[in-house]
Amino acid sequence: MNWSWKVVYDVLPQMLEGLVITVQATIIGALVAYALGLILAIMRMSNSRIISLSTYWISEFIRRTPLLVQLYFLFYVLPDLGIFLEPLEAGIIGLGLHFSTYTSEVFRAGIENVPTGQWEAAKSLNYRPYQTMRYVILPQAIPPMIPPLANYLITMFKETPLLSAITVVELFNAANIYSNSHYKYLEPMTLVGLFFLIVSVPSAYIAMWLERKYQRRYARNH
């Protein structure tokens, strides 16, 4: 085990490029996961049994199969069906789709925790379903959702190395490609770990802080 600063110096620029891709994939993937998760949650709570049940089974299917398999499917199988995705696109869609099934549960729990009285009040004001959601339910449901959603963001961040399987050169893959041609693993992989820590430790503390903040507010309001 000989730590070489020269290797660090060599690999660092490629890894920083990789880090940009990792952060891009995480943030855009999370936006997809949040938007799609909200839609899934609303569909799941639909009064129509068909919509509700089919949403349930689709979510179950996505959540109970490995993300890696889904990525391979998006990247290698979809083109045969005429849908061609660039590696990063396929990765973002895969991450977003997979995690939307988790975030949808957060949304659903958040919405269902709004007291029934609030729904009744909206009804008595003659609000349409959109107005009920927009002005009554979501403003109360969203704050307690923020900490778990932030935690999923961190989880997604840590899952991004899976994208290397579909040729996305993110942080881990950038290091791995270097290792493969220079036979040095100690420095590149240590740096990968460090980079993930540098981003995820502060993020975790922010998530914990959010959790405390919204818990207090929630407690005060009730």
How far is it, in rounded angstroms, from Cα 221 to Cα 177? 53
Q: Which stretch binds another protein (CB under 8 A): 24-32, 49-57, 77-85, 211-219?
A: 77-85
Indicate the SS3 state at residue 46.
coil
Q: Which stretch binds another protein (CB under 8 A): 20-28, 119-127, 178-186, 213-221?
A: 178-186
- Residue 183 is a binding residue for another protein (CB under 8 A): yes
Binding-site member from 181, 219, 221, 222 for another protein (CB under 8 A): 181
Q: Name the helix (H) or strand (E) containing 28.
A: helix 5-44
- Residue 177 is a binding residue for another protein (CB under 8 A): yes
Taking the least distance from each CB to another protein, the nearer of 145 and 171 is: 171
Query: Which token pair is 154?
Result: 């961190």
Residue 79 CB, nearest distance to another protein (Å)?
4
- Residue 179 is a binding residue for another protein (CB under 8 A): yes
Largest CA distance in the chain: 73
Query: Which token pair is 117?
Result: 């009285």
Contact 55, 127 (CB under 8 A): no
**What track of x and - describes contact with another protein for positions 136 through 175 (by CB under 8 A)?**
-----------------------------x-x--------
Enter the DSSP assignment of 64. Answer: T
Which candidate, 7, 16, 18, places its Cα nearest to that of 163?
A: 18
Contact 50, 38 (CB under 8 A): no
- Residue 9 is a binding residue for another protein (CB under 8 A): no
Taking the least distance from each CB to another protein, the nearer of 85 and 109 is: 85
Binding-site member from 84, 135, 205, 218 for another protein (CB under 8 A): 84
How far is it, in rounded angstroms, from Cα 161 to Cα 88? 12
Q: Which stretch binds another protein (CB under 8 A): 45-53, 76-84, 138-146, 192-200?
A: 76-84
Which candidate, 191, 170, 166, places its Cα nearest to that of 21?
A: 170
Which residues are at the interface with another protein (CB under 8 A)? 76, 79-80, 84, 87, 165, 167, 176-177, 179-181, 183, 185
